[in-house]
Amino acid sequence: MTGAPIKQGGSCILTYHSLDTSGSVISIPPKLFRQQMEWLAATRVAVVPLGRVRETTGAVAITFDDGFHNFFEHAAPVLQEFGFPATVFVVSDFCGGANDWPTQPRTPAVPKLELMPWSELQQIAKAGISIGCHTATHPYLSRLNAAELEEELARSRSAIEQRVGMAVETFAYPYGDATAQVREAAGRHFQLACGTRMAFLSADSDLLDLPRLDVYYLRSRFWFHGLQRPYGAAYVAARGGLRLLRQGLIFKHP
């Protein structure tokens, strides 16, 4: 299927978690990741830093949530090869440990995986990867009181800044859990924040709750290549709607 590239508002932020072959809901095989980067390069899609994705029509920004060690192993070398910028959102209290934070469901659906230690985060930061904040302990932020919320944001931001030696300007909400109060708190610490609502960016996208496209739903080559085509935009709209419907939110936020 073919179609004209999307002219306006076709920019998007991609979300990856883990690059591994388990087939889990947070996993993309490393080989597939390489093919996706090859396709972005071959089709000359503008892959830009997260902070610039809204300014560039048809651009793509690449983000990785949780800071898995396999980013260091499988993503960093490929990104470097193609000269693509990316942002990794890390959970500061768990760096060097595993993704076994208290809110992680104990199901085989999400494998327990190693997270990058600070030494690896320092290396990728030096190589040009941006390090963003994904809280200290990966909680549902809307369930915290105001003091706990502030602590999660402030402590994790300063830990990352101290250990990595660079300013942290970007944030991702664990589980996309971003109420008005949570967004307001994030706005005091960060220039922009990413959510999990599945959509392309538009002129009126909220800088403190930017929609993203979870690559798990774009695993097939057909849908990934749809990123630059109207049929892809239609798929994302339908998929985003289904997700909202499943979360029971569509009725509250039509």
Shortest CB 242 distance to Zn ion, Å: 21
Structure tokens given for 221: 């080559």
Q: Quote the CA–CA distance of 9 and 54 in Å, as a whole number.
A: 8
| Residue 20 sits in the site that holds Zn ion (CB under 5 A) | no
Q: Which is nearer to Zn ion, 175 or 222 (CB)?
A: 175
Q: Which is nearer to Zn ion, 31 or 112 (CB)?
A: 112
Q: Which is nearer to Zn ion, 66 or 214 (CB)?
A: 66
Residue span binding Zn ion (CB under 5 A) among the ranges 6-14, 58-66, 156-164, 237-245: 58-66
Please pick, from the candidates 65, 120, 209, 214, the single residue that binds Zn ion as defined by CB under 5 A: 65
Site for Zn ion in 154-193 (CB under 5 A): 174
Structure tokens given for 180: 């008005």
Q: What are phi and psi of 16, to 5 degrees?
A: -115, 155
Shortest CB 198 distance to Zn ion, Å: 16
Per-residue binding string, Zn ion, 123-142, x by CB under 5 A, is --------------------
Q: Report how many residues bind Zn ion under the rule CB under 5 A.
A: 3
Apex 104 CA angle, 221 and 144, nearest 5:
115
Q: Which is nearer to Zn ion, 6 or 19 (CB)?
A: 19
- How many angstroms separate the Cα of 107 from the Cα of each of 101, 111, 140? 13, 8, 18
Q: Quote the CA–CA distance of 216 and 203 in Å, as a whole number.
A: 25
Q: Which residues contact residue 150 at a Cβ distance below 8 angstroms, ignoring those fewer than 6 apart?
A: 185
Please pick, from the candidates 20, 66, 152, 209, the single residue that binds Zn ion as defined by CB under 5 A: 66
Shortest CB 153 distance to Zn ion, Å: 15
Neighbours of 224 (CB within 10 A): 20
Q: Which is nearer to Zn ion, 45 or 152 (CB)?
A: 152
- Tell me which H or E stretch contains 152: helix 146-164
Q: Which is nearer to Zn ion, 66 or 209 (CB)?
A: 66
CB 38 within 8 A of CB 83: no
CB 24 within 8 A of CB 111: yes
Q: Which is nearer to Zn ion, 65 or 120 (CB)?
A: 65
Closest CA relative to residue 172, chosen from 214, 144, 132, 137: 132
Shortest CB 239 distance to Zn ion, Å: 20
Interface contacts to Zn ion, rule CB under 5 A: 65-66, 174
